[in-house]
Structure 1
Amino acid sequence: MIHMETKRLVLGDWEPGDLALFTNLHQDPQAMKYFPKLYNEKEVAEMINRYKDHQESRGWSIFSLRLKENKQFIGCIGLLYRDFPAHFTPCVEIGWKISPMYWNQGYATEAAKKLLHKGFTDYGLTEIISFTVPQNVASRRVMEKIGLIHDKEGDFQHTRLTKDHPLSWHVLYRLTKEQYDDHKLV
């Protein structure tokens, strides 16, 4: 069982009751504004199973995210090995998805700092990246708060979307272990 804690949060394994809550999150147009589509329950169940398989094979993955005080599920955060066709893959991506009612409270930043620390110190990663569409200012702000650096030369057209898709262009943020060691934010 994976279990990490921050001052206010618990990052952990997926529980049976998470499917309905995670599906609700993936059906929320506000939460999914910068994703190409909404996901149904079957697709979300498959997503959770991929995260569990990733955890089994790599020892880390996307975790459920809960408030420590009452164990309320608020979303997910984690690290994923990515190998889709792009100039920076294969790589390890840090990503999060949090219910809008919990936005602007520092939860993504708090959990992401914990994951960067685990990634670089316990998991032996040498670089962690993140990416999003340019207009996703809130996620970009989190990336910057946790120390990731915008690689302007690395911005890219996502290969899983058609070139004319309004969400196909992405900004790329990166952080190496050396950069992390120089400026630890945990």
Structure 2
Amino acid sequence: MKFYLETERLILREIKETDLDGMFELDANPKVHLYLGNRPISSKREALENIQFIQKQYKERGIGRFTCIEKTSGDFIGWSGLKFNQDKKEAVNGIQNFIDIGYRFIPKYWKKGYGLESAKACLEFGFSEMKYNKICAAALEENIGSNRILTKIGLQLVNQFDYENVKANWYELKKENYGN
């Protein structure tokens, strides 16, 4: 399956190796990693490995994150999309085998509504096209922007949990509650 979505201001498509410079700019930035519980990358080789990991997810899991391109400039601004967390090492909040919605943007594109716009499109795609029954997300409690996006698109706070000694929020939305 080929993945391609459009919103008013964005093109969301499969990630490609031509996104290497943008992925490096995104994932090498410490600000981007502030609420992620991991470290910034330090080489383009690592950025390429991240791209290849996402491409592998498309093939093996039928879904993965999408590159976000700003329509007016044609610039890579980050990624957004769905991911199937299926094995034990990807468990979050003690849960595995779930569809996760997430997004990550280069800081100069923050606070422009791109996270909300892309997340809405991905949620619609997940329920309407992929026919998922439930979509989940986790966000550190202190990541106000991400928590706000998740509630605005309709995900419901289910519980809080400890993520590497930091409070995190767990959200879910079932298909039958989507749009209500």
For the aligned residues, what is the CA RMSD?
1.6
Match of 1:133 in 2: 140
Alpha-carbon distance in structure 2 between the residues aligned to 1:53 and 1:16: 12
Structure 1 runs (4+) greater than 4 angstroms displaced:
none
Match of 1:37 in 2: 39
Q: 2:67 aligns with which of 64, 76, 89?
A: 64
Q: Deviations over 1:52-77 (max 9, x none)?
A: 11112333210100111221110000
Deviates more, 1:37-46 or 1:66-75: 37-46
Check if 1:79 corresponds to 2:82. yes
- Three-state SS of the structure 2 residue aligned to 1:28 is coil
Taking structure 1 as the reference length, the TM-score comes to 0.86
Alpha-carbon distance in structure 1 between the residues aligned to 2:176 and 2:14: 29
Mapping of residues 84-163 of structure 1, within 5 Å: 84-85=90-91, 86-152=93-159, 155-158=160-163, 161=164, 163=165
Determine which structure has the larger strand proportion and give its number: 2
Alpha-carbon distance in structure 2 between the residues aligned to 1:90 and 1:16: 27
When the two structures are aligned, how many residues end up with a matched partner?
173
What 5-or-longer segments of structure 1 have no aligned partner?
none
Alpha-carbon distance in structure 2 between the residues aligned to 1:58 and 1:4: 19
Taking structure 2 as the reference length, the TM-score comes to 0.89
Q: Deviations over 1:74-110 (max 9, x none)?
A: 0000100113344332101000001111111111111
Alpha-carbon distance in structure 2 between the residues aligned to 1:4 and 1:157: 34
Q: 1:172 aligns with which of 161, 170, 173?
A: 170
Query: Could you tell me which amino acid in structure 2 is paired with residue 12 of structure 1?
Result: R
Percentage of pairs with the same residue: 28
